[in-house]
Amino acid sequence: MTRPPGSGAGDEPMIAGGGPAAPSAALLAETAVRALREEALLGPKPGLVDHRGGGAHDDMDLPLLLASAEALRPVFRAVADASERTALGVGLREELGRLGRAGDRVMLRATRGVNTHRGALWALGLLVAGAAGARDEREGVRRAARLAALPDRRMPAGALSNGERARRRHGVRGARGEAVAGFPHVVDVALPRLRRAGAAGAERDVARLDALLEVMSLLDDTCVLHRGGVEGLRMVRRGASRVLAEGGAGTDSGRAALMDLDRRLRSHRLSPGGSGDLLAAALFLDMVPWPEPSAGTGREVVACRR
């Protein structure tokens, strides 16, 4: 896919040894915010917030998502700084937990109490932490997954979250399990799709929408399960598969199926928020100017298809 000006590895400063320098903490934070912005601005997305409005959410719109993304910039910066100074281990995991929980509060202050980016902060926070000090995408994701798997003894017990409830009820792995598994829906689903479409010359937004739809067709999204149960999840997954079977977002029949799915998700108040988060994560990984860019780390197997 085409890289926005200024974000490509070729624009990075070179260090004395000849290789490009590792991205700074400020650049990683900037890239995370840009990924959130670009996910929000992409449209039409079924059930999600975009330029047309709040999708399945009656308490969100695009300006709110953009303000939330901007408010998270110092949070991502603090995450990258901490990861640069601290070796990967329980100490860093607990520091990230503290920063992530403080980040949730920053977001809620910026949105007057609306959960715009909780799942996205979790995924992108870990990936920013993993990227700080990593040579390439594969190492960045591996470090993020290791961090997600470490215990956070300072995690307050608190009330049961929507995701936790859905996980217990339906036996799915949710946002935490996705991270611990090394973000399979990002690495094996969204990124290969984005890159294949880019290589084939597809329009950028069509490639991004199709990547989102492919994630939606496979993910056990606790956001959807919480609101719509197994029936709701089936509607999302089948609907997304149908759009792709019709030719995807770039064809007339695919676009008609997409608009039909959007109407159904809005009327059932079903938001595929977890898929939105994972698309933002894929955009982030694709935009980071890695010191040693590898030719794609997608394993090209859909490990998560059941």
Ligand X SMILES: CC(C)(COP(=O)(O)OP(=O)(O)OC[C@H]1O[C@@H](n2cnc3c(N)ncnc32)[C@H](O)[C@@H]1O)[C@@H](O)C(=O)NCCC(=O)NCCS
Stretch that binds ligand ATP, among 116-124, 143-151, 165-173, 283-291 (CB under 6 A): 116-124
Q: How many residues touch ligand X (CB under 6 A)?
A: 30
What x-and-dash track marks residues 182-221 binding ligand ATP by CB under 6 A?
----------------------------------------
C-beta closer to ligand ATP: residue 80 or 278: 278
Is residue 32 within the footprint of ligand X (CB under 6 A)?
no
Residue carrying structure tokens 């650049």: 27
CB-based closest residue to ligand X:
163
Is residue 219 within the footprint of ligand X (CB under 6 A)?
yes
What is the C-alpha R_g of the chain?
18
Q: Give the single-character DSSP code of 15.
A: P
Neighbours of 44 (CB within 10 A): 17
Is residue 117 within the footprint of ligand ATP (CB under 6 A)?
yes
Stretch that binds ligand ATP, among 78-86, 117-125, 185-193, 202-210 (CB under 6 A): 117-125
Tokens encoding 140: 């960045």
Is residue 47 within the footprint of ligand X (CB under 6 A)?
no
Stretch that binds ligand X, among 44-52, 60-68, 240-248, 272-280 (CB under 6 A): 272-280
Is residue 244 within the footprint of ligand ATP (CB under 6 A)?
no
Stretch that binds ligand X, among 37-45, 54-62, 206-214, 219-227 (CB under 6 A): 219-227
Query: Is residue 44 reached through a cis peptide bond, with omega within 30 degrees of 0 on the bond before it?
Result: yes
* Nearest Cα residue to 302 out of 189, 138, 173, 179: 189
State the Cα–Cα distance between residues 225 and 248, nearest whole angstrom. 24
State the Cα–Cα distance between residues 204 and 195, nearest whole angstrom. 10
CA distances from 86 to 67, 105, 146 (A): 30, 24, 14
Please, which of residues 274-303 interact with ligand X by CB under 6 A? Answer: 274, 277-278
Q: Which H or E run contains 285?
A: helix 273-287
Shortest Cβ distance from residue 259 to ligand X (Å)?
23
State the Cα–Cα distance between residues 240 and 75, nearest whole angstrom. 33
Is residue 266 within the footprint of ligand ATP (CB under 6 A)?
no
Tokens encoding 297: 């780390």
Q: What angle do CA 14, 17, 18 make, to 5 degrees?
A: 45
Q: Which residues bind ligand X (CB under 6 A)?
A: 79, 96-97, 99-101, 118-119, 121-122, 125-126, 152, 161-164, 174-176, 178, 219-223, 273-274, 277-278
